[in-house]
Amino acid sequence: MLDDFFIRALLVGIGMAIVTGPLGCFVVWRRLSFFGDTLAHSALLGITLSYTTEINMALSVFVTSSIVALILLKLQKTTNLPSDALLGLLAHSSLAIGLVVIGLLATIRFDLMGLLFGDILAVNANDIILVWIGGATILVVLKIIWKPLFASTVNFELAEAEGMKPEKYNAIFTILLAAIIAISIKMVGLLLITGMLILPAAMARNISDNPMQMVIFSVIGGLLSVLIGLFASLEFNTPSGPSIITAGLFLFILSLSRIKKKTQLNN
């Protein structure tokens, strides 16, 4: 009944939502939403590099984003500029360099809209494998580093004083973010990746009382966004990536009613 391309899109979207759920919680907890944006912007540079050097797009994006992330960690230590200024600096310059490189490659036609917003309906079997295997790897690593990463999220110095090595785990987490961006860039595009990371987690924050609960709700929220968004895009013929994010926004608005009740109770 459903077309093949639609089932493929569903499989990819579901795989993605399971991974962006927990990662998104850390992005929200650590106030990294702008950081995700920066990585996503630098991904454009990775894409153009993959066209010029003909290496795999996901790999190229992963490497570029990781390098930008590590440059940021380095700059944070060596300069006195606040993090948001450094993020802006890296985001805009890597985006600009990416666009300049595109300009230089006048012979290749780019589907810029496709890169910015992705096309989940155009995924093939390889993409599904990439998302599920890559996603599973990310989740396994996240599970392993969960405790020290969470401790350093709550308080860096406390974690460091008690031997949790927060610096190391922060770097690993950054690489995981670069990885999820690399595997999902084709599906939702670079402008919408942070949306997938933040919206379900923000929705989950409104209805959760503890960290584990928030992670579970975040995954559920992501899954619902994908399902509602994709079916809506089929029904109303709207672009699929933005439809998924819009569905996430609706879920977030619904979750606001719970937070109102909670604050009243607390008072």
Partner 1 sequence: MTQINNSLVKLENVGVFANDKWLVKGVTFEINKGQIVTLIGPNGSGKTTTAKITLGLYKDIEGKVQKFTEKIAYVPQRINIDWTLPIRVNDFMNLTNTLTNDEIKDALEITGTPHLINKDLKSLSGGEFQRILMARAIAKKPELLVLDEPVQGVDFNGEIALYELIKKISDTLNCGILLISHNLHVVMSKTDHVVCLNGHVCCSGTPIDVANNEKYQEIFGKDISKILSVYEHTHDHIHNIDGSIEKKK
**Based on CB atoms, which residue is closest to partner 1, 131 or 202?**
202
DSSP secondary structure letter of residue 185? H
**Does residue 211 bind partner 1 (CB under 8 A)?**
yes
Among 78, 209, 261, 264, contact with partner 1 (rule: CB under 8 A): 209
Among 40, 142, 151, 177, contact with partner 1 (rule: CB under 8 A): 151
Q: What are the distances in angstroms from CA 157 to CA 59, 150, 165, 230, 247?
A: 34, 13, 10, 43, 38
Q: Could you give phi then psi for residue 238, rounded to 5 degrees?
A: -100, 160
Stretch of 87-95, 113-121, 159-167, 241-249 lying at the interface with partner 1 (CB under 8 A): 159-167
**Based on CB atoms, which residue is closest to partner 1, 88 or 211?**
211
Binding pattern for the stretch 224-243 against partner 1, x by CB under 8 A and - elsewhere: --------------------
Among 50, 94, 174, 208, contact with partner 1 (rule: CB under 8 A): 208
């987690």: which residue's tokens? 201
- The token pair at 187 is 């599906």
The beta-carbon contacts of 243-248 under 8 Å, at least 24 apart in sequence, are 244/13, 244/120, 244/188, 244/192, 244/196, 245/188, 245/192, 245/195, 245/196, 245/199, 248/195, 248/196, 248/199, 248/200, 248/203, 248/221, 248/222
Contact 33, 25 (CB under 8 A): no
Residues 62-91 that bind partner 1 (CB under 8 A): none
**Does residue 29 bind partner 1 (CB under 8 A)?**
yes
List the end-to-end C-alpha distance of the chain, in Å, as a whole number: 52
**Does residue 213 bind partner 1 (CB under 8 A)?**
yes
**Based on CB atoms, which residue is closest to partner 1, 51 or 156?**
156
**Does residue 3 bind partner 1 (CB under 8 A)?**
no
Burial label, 82 (beta-carbon count in 10 A; 0-12, 13-18, 19+): exposed
Three-state DSSP at 135 gives helix
**Does residue 153 bind partner 1 (CB under 8 A)?**
yes
Among 43, 57, 68, 164, contact with partner 1 (rule: CB under 8 A): 164
**Does residue 7 bind partner 1 (CB under 8 A)?**
no
For the CB of residue 31, give the shortest distance to partner 1 in the complex, in Å: 7
Which residues form the interface with partner 1 (CB under 8 A)? Answer: 28-29, 31, 147, 150-151, 153-155, 157-164, 205, 208-211, 213-214, 266
